[in-house]
Structure 1
Amino acid sequence: MTFPSAPPPTSPTGEEITDYYSALGPLLRMAWGDNLHFGYWDGPQDRSSPEEATDRFTDLLADRLGVGPGQRVLDAGCGVGRPALRVASRTGARVLGVTISREQVGQAVELAREAEMGERVRFEYGDVTRLPHEAGSFDAVLAFESIVHMDRPVALREMARVLRPGGRIVLTDTFPLGDGTDGAGDSGDVASFGRFEAYPGLMADAGLELEELTDVTDHTKFTFMRVIDGILRCRREFEREHGVSVEEVLGSLEPAHPGTATQSGGEAVGCLVAAARKPVAA
């Protein structure tokens, strides 16, 4: 989960992303859980826990992948691995999670071991924009809130390359609401907004056929305030366990990610779901 700002002129480096999650990750996992992404609620009266709401969002995306037992899914930017494990459990597919953080690889491997799913779900260190896998290696690709850290056109072309003809890419992205000027960032930001209206062109330029573009903001907009509630509930335990204050953690992120404070209320952040298919050659 990130607090994005306006698109920076250059993409963040792997080291910047790793440092960001090394600093924020322990706090987020304690306050929110192992799903480092938005939750999905039916409305303001939905009292689902963060775990229930984030798992619901994972299931929504897993069902759009269109895969079954034995097929291969790439989780592009897998975080600490919980969505990959849930996708594998729900669909029966084999999942490979890729993250640019070696720390997250270790955490994901441990989660897979605890779930006794190490044979069907693997994790590796890598850059989604430069994958070592051959063309057509995967039956589907999932990018769950990870494309906010990437050069979108480059990442989509690479995902399309490793996808087999007829396979699907399913992703989530953030986009600015209103005039999109709140929290305007610079090249130091570790995340950036996408543009809802840009997705038809982005998918076409990657050689993909857009099948769905849905604004799910009405279901995800409760995330930020509930993250804050979680941080307030766990702050004493976190500070006792880690020996650093919540204010110090959040303050350490500001120089590299100035959008954090302005976006933490969530009011200016929209969320979309996009699904596209790689055409089958004639």
Structure 2
Amino acid sequence: MSNRAALGSSLPATGIENAYERFAPLAEKYWGPDLHNGYWFDGADDSSLEEATARLAELVIDKLRVSSGDRVLDVGCGNGRPTVAAGARTGADITGIDVNRRALREAATHASSNGVSHYVSFEYADALNPPFRTESFDAVMSVESSPHFETGELLSSMARLLRPGGLLVLETPYARVRMTERLRARTAEYYELIQAVSLDTLQRYFELAHAAGLAPVEFLDITENTAPTWPTALRRLRDDWGEIERSLGSELPERAIATTSAWRELPELGIMILTLRRDDALSASRGA
């Protein structure tokens, strides 16, 4: 089940865009430009936040199983760091889509400065109504953007874009237990803060994937590996609190930190990488 009941029935693109505009400049400065979870091997891993976020992107990218000549879509690409990394790492043609124009401009600049703009491009587009032909991509990736969509709607949209046998790789929060009204209430404030609408169990992902014609390939729980992300970022934010207060005041940042900290401490929530494959046999049975 999703958080839609707690957060409202729709998510305007402007809501995501406004949230990004408010927080991204400072977050990029102190969190690091990737703006997503990091991946640490174990408690002895002393990697920096930048090294860990790059490592997580590489982990997602390698699960796409693509190379030069393949086409890949990055859904909710933001400022394009994982998108550019995917192009550089695989040589595939990568298209990133997002609804934030500022982020897309930064993404295009980043691609150009890394010499990959001839095969890594960015478009303003809605993932639920994408301007691409059916079966036009060999793989689709999503790094922490899927909570901004109803899961079933997103999976169906991406399945249509995948060629038969193509892979969809999601790195995303998920509910480790069945969603209850109590848990929904405890997560609603964080989801409102980041303008998200869905939080589903693994079983629910499997059910919605099957309905969309997608078969599970691999499930990887990376909750423990990503756990240092927020404490590391929080230390940086606290070290530079004066600038944050000058830019945003104190009330909003304090609320954001308290809300995010509470979210990160919930044992019922995890982080996963889920790989799904478009399966024509499922699609045929669905249409029968």
TM-score (norm 1): 0.87
Structure 2 residue 222 is the aligned partner of structure 1 residue 216: yes
| Cα shift at 1:259 | 4.9
What is the CA-CA distance between 1:36 and the residue it aligns to? 1.6
Which of 237, 242, 245 matches 1:231?
237
Unmatched 5+ stretches in structure 1: 1-5
**Residue aligned with 1:194, SS:** coil
Contact 1:24 1:250 in 2 (8 A): no
TM-aligned CA distance change 1:84 to 1:196, over 3 Å:
same
Pair 1:219–1:163, CA change in 2 (3 A): same
Kept after mapping to 1: 8 A contact 2:244/2:253: no
- Residues 224 and 265 in structure 1, CA contact (< 8 A), matched pair in contact too: no
Check 1:179–1:156 CA distance in 2 against 1; reply closer, same or farther (3 A cut): closer
**1:86-165 to 2 correspondences below 5 Å:** 86-165=85-164
Residues 122 and 51 (structure 1 numbering): CA distance in 2 closer, same or farther, change over 3 Å?
same
Match of 1:193 in 2: 199
| Cα displacement (A) at 1:279 | 2.2
C-alpha distance in 2, partners of 1:163/1:178? Answer: 30
Structure 2 unaligned blocks of 5 or more: none
Greater helix fraction, Structure 1 or Structure 2 = 2
Tell me the matched-pair count: 271
Change (3 A) 1:268 1:201: closer
Q: Alignment partner of 2:46: what SS?
A: coil
Q: Tell me the distance in 1 between the aligned counterparts of 2:232 and 2:269.
A: 15
Could you tell me how far 1:250 is from its partner in structure 2? 2.2
1:262 equivalenced with 2:258 (yes/no): no
Call closer, same or farther: CA 1:54–1:69 in 2, change over 3 Å.
Answer: same
Q: What whole-Å deviation, never above 9, does each CA across 1:32-80 have from its counterpart, x for those lacking one?
A: 1121211111122211011111111111111110100121100011010
* Residue 234 of structure 1: how far off its partner (Å): 3.5
Partner of 1:274: 274
Deviation at 1:132, TM superposition (A): 1.1
Aligned-pair CA distance for 1:261: 5.7
Give how far 1:227 is off. Answer: 1.5
* Distance (whole Å) between structure 2 residues aligned to residue 137 and residue 178 of structure 1: 35
Greater relative contact order structure (CA < 8 Å, 6+ sep)? 1
Which amino acid is the alignment partner of residue 183 of structure 1? R
Q: Partners of 1:8 and 1:43 in 2: how far apart?
A: 35
AA aligned to 2:63 is R
The alignment status of 1:8 with 2:11, answered yes or no, reads no
Asked if the contact 1:141/1:163 (under 8 Å) is kept, the reply is yes
Over the matched positions of the two proteins, sequence identity in percent amounts to 32
How far did 1:194 drift? Answer: 2.5
Amino acid across the alignment from 1:143: S
TM-score, length basis structure 2:
0.85
